[in-house]
Every structure is written in structure tokens, then in C-alpha cells.
Amino acid sequence: MFTKKGDAAVLAKLGEAPAQYREIGERLHSIIREAAPSLEPIVRWGLPFYVKDGKDVCYIKPDKDFIAFGFGEVVNPAFEEGVHMHPVAWNITSLDAATEAKIRSLVEKAVA
């Protein structure tokens, strides 16, 4: 497994996304880095991951029709007690202030 580390590696990978999702990916990266500066940005398996103590916390997956944002298996900040299904990934086609706030909140909860 080949891994590249750092913001430059992640931003370069996000720069390969289709034009309409490149800006979303770059904004997601900024939100993650602002909300959880302790996370290490890496590119592994061709995807930007954000890790803490060697464990995947969240990732961004560009696709031709959307950009996905999700959490690793170790932590799920969207877990709700008493619910039978728990989201771990979302397909994002645009960002607004409310969506950005929700993503920021989930990332902060994931690293708390």
C-alpha cells in the first residue's frame, strides 16, 4: 500500500476530481482541517483519508457523479441510540451553510 502524507498530497488528489466536485472536495478538506487540526491528511488507496493515532477517522471519495464524505469503521459520530441503521457516508452534490455546519459538527464529535 502506497501512502502519501500531508495537505499537498490530499489537495493534489482532490484536484483530480471532476470540475464540479473539485471545489466541494477542497472545501471539505478545509472544514476537516479547521474542525480537527490534529487529524493527519493522507492519500491511501487513491483516496484522501484523515487519520488519528493510525486509525481512519474520515475520508473523501470523489466520483464522476458526486463526492462522498464518510467515516471509518472505528468511530461513527452519526450513531444514534435506539436507531437500527446508522449513516457512515454521504453523497454530496453541493454545499450550503447548514451542510457545512453538520459536517464540521460530525468531525468535531469524531475526534472528541
Question: Contact 41/29 with Cβ under 8 angstroms?
Answer: yes
CATH of the domain at 57: 3.90.1150.200
- Print the domain residue range for 70: 3-111
List the pLDDT tens digit at each of the 112 positions of the chain: 567 999 999 999 999 999 989 999 999 999 999 999 999 999 999 999 999 998 999 999 998 888 999 998 777 888 878 888 878 899 999 999 999 999 999 999 999 9
Measured between alpha carbons, how far is residue 53 from residues 23, 37, 98 in Å?
28, 13, 30
What's residue 57's pLDDT?
A: 95
User: Furthest-apart CA pair in the chain: how many Å?
Assistant: 41
- Count: domains in the chain: 1
How much of the chain is in helix, strand and coil states, percent to nearest 5?
35, 30, 35
